[in-house]
Structure 1
Amino acid sequence: MAQEILINVTPRETRVALVENGVLQELHLERARRRGLVGNLYKGRVVRVLPGMQAAFIEAGLERTAFLHASDIARAEPAPVGDEPNGRPPPLPIDELLTEGQEVVVQVLKDPIGSKGARLTTHITIPSRYLVLAPGSRALGVSARVEDPAERERLRAIGESLLADRGDMGIIVRTAAEQVAEEALRADFDFLLRLWQSISERAAHASAGQRVHEDLPLTVRAMRDLAGSEVERVRVDSRENYLNVVSFCRRFLPEMAPRVEYYPGERPLFDLYNIEDEILRALNRRVPLKSGGHLVIDQTEAMTTVDVNTGAYVGHRTLEETIFKTNLEAAQAIARQLRLRNLGGIIIVDFIDMVEEEHKRQVLRALEKALQKDHAKTQISGVSALGLVEMTRKRTRESLEHQLCESCPTCGGRGSVKSAETVSYEIFREILREARQFESRRLVVLAATEVVDLLLEDESTSLAQLEEFIGRPIELQAESLYTQEQFDVVLM
């Protein structure tokens, strides 16, 4: 499984692509005007406490007030020690935890998405290459992706030795720590302690609304989070960023430093790997499958739906075999599309209906196996009574579509506009309404070219009858700047 990381830098935008066997798997981008906030720490002030929602709104110097739920507020009780440090005591009522005007250090858990403000937490975590420091917690966790029991036990023992005599600290051992020497883990831990000390000092002197810590820039963050033993090469097309990446690798990832290359070629780096074409395809609703079938992906505010269709694929044996093969191929494609498009929240997959239970189990296993490569946490709840696969994927940043696109000004994001015929009948009703209320010598209709053409051709008889009914002439004027739904009826 050969992987490459491609880093494309322009003055206002940085893009990082993870390519596996020549196929784009993940795309991360960061723009100077709107950098991601996840991981940043702020000194915030409580502006409103909402007992009915068990939440508070925090002014942290962001564009909108941010949201802090009671379950995301750290308390003095220690979290239990276990493989997954998510077990927390039940939250107290929000008005017992916070008061309006109180200042609190918070970390961004989720970027602002759509009309929603950022989601915050006071469970602070500071990640590095091998470990995640959790100040104020007593948890010790090992990534679930480390599957070897002996290696899990070794990492747990190292973690316990690191936390000895540090009752106010917790750590999570990341997947990247697998087979890493204890000395490297101890150096990582010492670095995190120094970083936290620096953050604590800044937070103590900061005023409300100030940022006290910013996560690493995307070029370096990608090396921290994506670079692993499977990555054979990292190519950077900016000399300055290449030097920064090499410097970071020499300090924290010495084994990766020789694999980092500067790409000075005249042909753009992403064009070399056809990444630009892949990005365009990732913005389409329809995703073709090699067999001839296709997926249809629709993203809404509540959830994302994925519909699987056989399309042109007719198979060679039985209908059940054709459906089974299409669903197996779709499972692989869906896992890739979720990563590539960064789709999160509730996801409903409508596979083609299968009769045999064994086929259903195999398709579900194929989807689970394909999702194991995903860095974001996913959870499949199985097949519903309606035959739909329900799953969730952790969402911290906006999807690729929301980052690169905006709602269509013509349809307002609906994905459709009223037909010219519908608009023409609306014009007829408006003419009747205006003619009954106001006196005039004639009426002028301003509308889009398509609507005027329809009125002059297919609806010319209806227009003549309407003129006779109201006793006034109706003139039509095509406006090239009008959308198909826009029109005006002017009394002259």
Structure 2
Amino acid sequence: MASKEEILINVTPRETRVAVIENGLVQELHLERTLSRGIVGNIYKGKVVRVLPGMQAAFVDIGLEKNGFLHAADIARNDPAFNGEPIKDIPPIQDLVREGVSVFVQALKDPIGSKGARLTTELSMPSRHLVYLPRGEDIGISQKIESAEERDRLRGIVQEIIDQQNLKGGFIIRTLAESASAEDISHDILFQQRLWEYVSTEMKTAKPASMVHEDVPLALRTMRDLVDENLEMIRVDSRETFDKAVGFAKEFVPEAADLLQYYPGEQPLFGLYSVEQEIENAMKRKVMLKSGGDMIIDQTEAMTTIDVNTGSYVGRRNLEETLFKTNLEAATEIAHQMRLRNLGGIIIVDFIDMQSRKHKKQVLAALETAIARDRVKINITDISPLGLVEITRKRTRESLEHTMCETCPTCSGRGMVKTVQTVCYEILREVIREDRQFKAQSYTIVASPDVVDLLLDEEASSLADLQEFIDRPISLQVDTHFLQQDYEIVLV
């Protein structure tokens, strides 16, 4: 049975948040802040600052705080010197680039922690059904399109358009292209050609260590990347963003245009679907299972560990049944938490030890079934004799915790607290919620010194806009005993 899917887009001047809801449950959260937008998909004119033969890589200055990382394999695939011929052995990095030269690169992964962005010289222009590779030659197709007849049909459509328009470059046919019409694919190719023409012009005048092209913002990327046949509705709570989304959808994603709805309700959109509570829960180490068991999730620089415990669940028959049912429930919840928290890299799951081989297979099968809906590539190993399962999930952006939290100075990195910025935005949303509910004469925000300082400095304009929006005076009061994430809104 196909799942019922909805997308919620919550927009404030400083932050855009997207929640993917499946059958009433929050499955994915995407967050983009105006001051720290992700760079995946952006194209830069970089300058090679260091070549590392031992790592087969180079560091490239693209104008950001940290230099980007370019591996030899990401150069060899499309370097003009190789005329598009397949490369069996990757040439030494020093034969491909040298220090001081300029190179056009595209970001594959955002900077994460102490690591700079992962780069490639294989530039690409993504659209709804295709990815255009200006320097490629072949037509690739997603492995998830299994029908040989459909694969041949799609290849034929793309090849015919290439021949008719005498196009250069290669294409990758995406999974969402399955059952797409020739008109849809032709429309995508036209969009990509226009985009590449614009980018090519910008590349001619770009300066070293500068951005040439920026990918579209989160609200619009949502329609390009997250819309599928199960989607029933996209709700947007900002009129300005809704109008932009409608225009973008009509031009590039026409099938999504009819799904868009503007939400003007008094109750906050995320509150209507309990998304705020899910965000709060996603910040916690402990995840409670319905049976009474629990899971402890810890993120480190190298990996994420998930420890499954029986907790208060004691079962009805025997110990083996208790362990099996707890692990079975945990398997489904692990898949949910990986998507919700956007856990990436190596994930080690410590299931409770089970004696029955049959039970182990059933738990693993439940985990594989649960991750089938994940949009990110995942690999899982068998359960080891110690009850451990190793999962690798492709990492393309920071996890939710690393995006919304920072290392706590009080505990020297052993815990996490919300950033001052996160608390400020939470306060601004809470004032709107309380004003709609109580209609007080005025409001006093009591918070820690750092939060009040930010509201008086960088976020002063946001606070002024809020006062004008609710037409009520707002005052600030410092409480030195408050922790960074603590605040209180006093109604007068």
TM-score range, shorter chain: 0.7 to 0.9
How big is each residue's C-alpha offset from its partner over 1:239-273, in whole Å with a ceiling of 9 and x where there is no partner? 00001111111122223212211111111111111
**Which structure 2 residue ranges, 5 or more long, are not aligned?**
417-479, 484-492
Q: Which residue of 1 aligns with 2:58?
A: 56
> Is 1:306 matched up with 2:306?
yes
Q: For the structure 1 residues 292 and 351, does the alpha-carbon distance in structure 2 shift closer, same or farther, using more than 3 Å as the test?
A: same
Deviation of the 1:386 alpha carbon: 3.4
Q: 1:274 to 1:78 in 2, by over 3 A?
A: farther
Report what 1:44 is aligned to.
46
In the alignment, the residues of structure 2 paired with residue 190 and residue 90 of structure 1 have an alpha-carbon distance, to the nearest angstrom, of 35
Distance 1:360 1:162 in 2: 51
Q: Deviations over 1:283-310 (max 9, x none)?
A: 1011111111111111000000111112
2:139 aligns with: 140
* Identical counterparts, % of pairs: 57
1:337-376 aligned within 5 A: 337-376=337-376
Please list the CA deviations of residues 387-445 of structure 1 after superposition, one character each: whole Å capped at 9, or x if unmatched.
Answer: 311121111111100100000111111249xxxxxxxxxxxxxxxxxxxxxxxxxxxxx
Partner residue in 1 for 2:405: 405
Aligned twin of 1:112: 111
Distance 2:358 2:89 in 1: 41
After TM superposition, the structure 1 stretch with the greater mean CA deviation from structure 2, 116-125 or 251-260, is: 251-260
Say whether residues 1:75 and 2:79 are aligned partners.
yes
Q: Which residue of 2 aligns with 1:469?
A: none
Show CA shifts across 1:319-368 (max 9, x none).
Answer: 22222222121111111111110110111111112222222222222212
Counterpart secondary structure, 1:322: helix
Residue identity opposite 2:393 in structure 1 = R
Shift of 1:377: 1.1
When residues 88 and 302 of structure 1 are mapped into structure 2, their CA distance, relative to the original with a 3 A threshold, is: farther
Task: Work out whether residues 315 and 321 of structure 1, in 8 Å CA contact, stay in contact via their aligned partners in 2.
Answer: yes
In structure 2, the residue matched to 1:153 is 152
Going from structure 1 to structure 2, the CA distance change for 1:154 and 1:329 (only over 3 Å counts) comes to farther
Task: Note closer, same or farther for the CA distance 1:320–1:153 as it changes in structure 2 (3 Å cut).
Answer: farther
Shift of 1:193: 1.8
Q: Does the Cα contact within 8 Å between 1:295 and 1:309 map onto a contact in 2? A: yes
Conserved? CA contact 2:60–2:70, under 8 Å? yes
Q: Does the aligned pair in 2 maintain the 1:4–1:231 contact within 8 Å?
A: yes
Q: Under a length normalisation based on structure 1, what TM-score does the superposition of the two structures give? A: 0.80
Equivalent runs, 1:423-462 vs 2, <5 Å: none
Conserved in 2, the CA contact under 8 Å of 1:163 and 1:170? no
Distance 1:8 1:273 in 2: 12
- 1:163 is displaced (CA, Å) by 4.2
Task: Write the distance in 1 (CA, Å) between the matches of 2:44 and 2:245.
Answer: 27
SS in 1 for 2:55: coil
What is the CA deviation profile of residues 127-171 of structure 1, one whole-angstrom value per residue up to 9, with x for unaligned ones? 111111122223322223323343233223333334448685221
Aligned equivalent of 1:295: 295
Shift of 1:88: 5.6
Q: Hey, what does 1:186 align to over in structure 2? A: 186
CA displacement at 1:65 relative to structure 2: 1.3
Q: Is the 8 A contact 2:56 2:71 kept in 1?
A: yes
Please say if residues 347 and 392 of structure 2, whose CA atoms lie closer than 8 Å, have aligned partners that are also in contact: yes
Q: Which residue of 1 aligns with 2:395?
A: 395
CA distance in 2, matches of 1:167, 1:350: 52
Contact 1:283–1:401 at 8 Å: present in 2 too?
yes
Q: Following the alignment from structure 1 to structure 2, what is the Cα–Cα distance between the partners of residues 203 and 319?
A: 66
Which residue pairs with 1:103 in the alignment?
A: 102
Report how far residue 78 of structure 1 moved: 6.7
Change (3 A) 1:89 1:213: farther
Distance 1:237 1:106 in 2: 35
Q: Is the 8 A contact 1:239 1:262 kept in 2?
A: yes
**Partner Cα separation in structure 1 for residue 290 and residue 89 of structure 2:** 49
Q: 1:32 aligns with which of 31, 34, 59?
A: 34
CA contact 1:138–1:167 (8 Å) conserved in 2: no
Aligned residue type for 2:66: R
Contact 1:296 1:307 in 2 (8 A): yes
**Structure 1, 148-157 or 389-398: larger mean CA deviation:** 148-157
Which residue pairs with 2:224 in the alignment?
224
In structure 2, the CA distance between the partners of 1:161 and 1:329, relative to structure 1 (3 Å rule), is farther
Residue 325 of structure 1 aligns with which residue?
325
Query: Compared with structure 1, are the counterparts of its residues 282 and 197 closer, same or farther at alpha carbon in structure 2 (3 Å cutoff)?
Result: same
Cα deviation code 1:63-122 (max 9, x no counterpart): 111111111113344778xxxxxx864321111000111100001111111111111111
> In the aligned structure 2, how far is the partner of 1:320 from the partner of 1:138?
57
Distance 2:204 2:382 in 1: 48
The whole-number CA distance in structure 1 between the counterparts of 2:392 and 2:14 is: 33
Distance 1:20 1:67, change over 3 A: same
Matched, 1:176 2:176: yes
Following superposition, the deviation at residue 23 of structure 1 comes to 0.8
- Opposite residue 99 of structure 1, the aligned amino acid is R
Distance 1:138 1:366, change over 3 A: farther
Cα–Cα, structure 1 residues 313 and 163, in superposed 2: closer, same or farther, change >3 Å? farther
Q: Which amino acid counterpart does residue 205 of structure 1 have in structure 2?
A: T
Amino acid at match of 1:54: Q
Structure 2 Cα separation of the partners of residues 33 and 323 of structure 1? 47
Which residue matches 2:267?
267
Q: What is the CA deviation profile of residues 218-254 of structure 1, one whole-angstrom value per residue up to 9, with x for unaligned ones? A: 0000111111121111110100000111111112222
SS at match of 1:382: coil
1:162–1:359 distance in 2 versus 1, CA, 3 Å: farther
Residues 156/316 of structure 1: CA separation in 2 closer, same or farther (3 Å cut): farther
Task: Return the TM-score normalized by structure 2.
Answer: 0.80
Q: What is the aligned-residue RMSD (CA, Å)?
A: 2.1
Task: Give the letter aligned to residue 145 of structure 1.
Answer: K
Which whole-Å CA distance do the structure 2 matches of 1:168 and 1:369 have between them? 41
Aligned to 2:463: none
| Other-structure match for 1:204 | 204
1:151 is paired with a residue whose SS is helix
Preserved contact between residue 158 and residue 182 of structure 1 (Cα < 8 Å): yes
- Distance in 1, matches of 2:44 and 2:199, equals 10
Instruction: After TM superposition, give the deviation of residue 385 of structure 1 in Å.
Output: 4.8
8 Å Cα contact 2:353/2:386 also seen in 1: no
Distance change in 2, residues 1:88/1:15 (3 Å): farther
1:318–1:79 CA distance, 2 compared to 1 (3 A): farther
Distance 1:362 1:164, change over 3 A: farther
Kindly provide the CA deviation profile for residues 12-64 of structure 1, in whole angstroms up to 9, marking residues without a partner as x.
Answer: 00001101111110010110110000110000011111112211111111111
